[in-house]
Amino acid sequence: MAEKILLWMTVNGEARSAEVFPMARLLDVIREDWGLTGTKEGCGEGECGACSVILDGVLVNACLIPAVQAQGGELLTVEGLARKGELDPLQEAFLHHGGAQCGFCTPGMLMAGTHLLAQGGPGDEAEARAGLAGNLCRCTGYNRIVDAVLAARREHP
């Protein structure tokens, strides 16, 4: 039996900690220890993007990060997007364009979209499609997700 570590991070602007095994997946820490179940597991192999979060400014799949490698990190999850109960502009754009259907890929899509916007993109539809290609959706055919991200960039540059 391995020894647990005390993992501490800044999560959505707040300090949080958890006693976890070093090889626990960050995804499980987020969901089980911190109860932030907005981050989803769709495949567990870094393929679907449902567990996308932003760690130290980098978009990552939380299912591929061992807890020990997140020590001291700054984490943004879907729960950190809205401010005081108000959806952020990207979330609003998803709502109005119909970018969420079943909703299960949505948190990961929002994090990928947030990352693209933070990088100053996407400049056009092709860039949006390439940028979101690590996040699989089975409901929408992607039109409305792409439109939402482009609209958020246009309306809140």
Partner 1 sequence: MRGQPSACEVHTPETLAGALAFRAGNPDWRPLAGGTDLMVPFAAGRLGDQRFLNLWGLRELKGILASEDAVLIGALASYRAIAAHPVIQARLPNLVASARATGALAIQGRGTLGGNLVNGSPAADSPPSLLVYEAEVELASVRGGRWIPYAAFHTGYRANAMAPDELLTCIRVPLPPEGGVHYFRKVGTRQAQAIAKLSLAGWALPRQGRLAEIRLALGSVAPVPVRALHAETVLRGAPLSALPLSAAREALQADIAPIDDLRSSARYRRRVAGNLLEEALAALI
Partner 2 sequence: MAQSPIGSPVLRREGGAKLAGATQYTDDLRIPGLLHGVTVRSPVARGRLRAVHFGEGIPWEEFTIVRAADIPGRNAVAHILEDQPCLVDGEIRHAEEAVLLLAHEDRALAELARTRVRLDFEALPAVLSLDEALETRERVWGEDNTFKRILIEKGDPFDWAAAPRVHEGTYRTGAQEHVYIEPNAMIAEASPDGVLARGSLQCPYYVHHSLQALLGLPPERIRVVQLDTGGGFGGKEDFPSMIAAHAALLSWKAGGRPVKIAYDREEDMACTTKRHPSRTRIRSAFAPDGTLLALEIEFILDGGAYLTLSPVVLSRGALHASGPYRCGHIRIEARAVATNTPPHGAFRGFGAPQSLFAIERHMTEAARRLGMDPAELRRKNLLRPGDTMATGQVLRDAVDLPALMDRALAEIGYREKRPLDARLHERPGRPRRGIGFAVFMHGGGFTGGGEVFLGSVAAVEGTVEGRFRVLAASTEIGQGATTVFGQIAAEALGCPLEAVEVARPDTAVVPNSGPTVASRTTQVVGKLIFDAALALRKTLLESGHLAEGGDVSAAARAFIAARGALRAESRYQKPPFVQWDDAAYRGDAYATYAWACYAAEVSADSRTYEVRVEDFVAVQEVGRVVNPTLAAGQIEGGVAQGIGWALSEEVVWRDGRMANAQMTNYLIPTSADLPRIRAFFEESPYPYGPGGAKGIGELPMDGPAPAILNAVQEALGVEARELPLTPERLLDLVEPEAADG
Residue window 59-88: x/- pattern of binding to partner 1, with contact defined by CB under 8 A: xxx-xxxx-xx-------------------
Candidates 2-10, 30-38, 54-62, 66-74; binding stretch for partner 2 (CB under 8 A): 30-38
User: Buried b / exposed e across 6-30, counting CB within 10 Å, b at 16+?
Assistant: ebebebbeeebebebbeebbbbbbb
Residue 102 binds to partner 2 (criterion: CB under 8 A): yes
Cβ neighbourhood burial of 77 (10 Å; 0-12, 13-18, 19+): buried
Residue window 60-99: x/- pattern of binding to partner 2, with contact defined by CB under 8 A: -----------------xxx-xx----x---x--xxxxx-
> CB 87 → partner 1: shortest distance, Å?
23
Amino acid letter, 94 = F
Candidates 2-10, 65-73, 113-121, 131-139; binding stretch for partner 2 (CB under 8 A): 131-139
Per the listing, tokens 């952020």 go with 88
Dihedral sign for Cα 88, 142, 111, 157, please: negative
- Using CA atoms, how far residue 71 sits from 75, 82, 91, in Å, is 11, 25, 29
User: What does 95 bind: partner 2, partner 1, none (CB cut-off 5 to 8 Å by kind)?
Assistant: partner 2
Q: Which one among 140, 150, 151, 153 touches partner 2, defined by CB under 8 A?
A: 140
Contact between 27 and 60 under an 8 Å Cβ cutoff? The reply is no
The binding site for partner 1 (CB under 8 A) comprises 1-3, 20-25, 28, 41, 44-47, 49, 52, 58-61, 63-66, 68-69, 112, 115, 130-131, 133-136
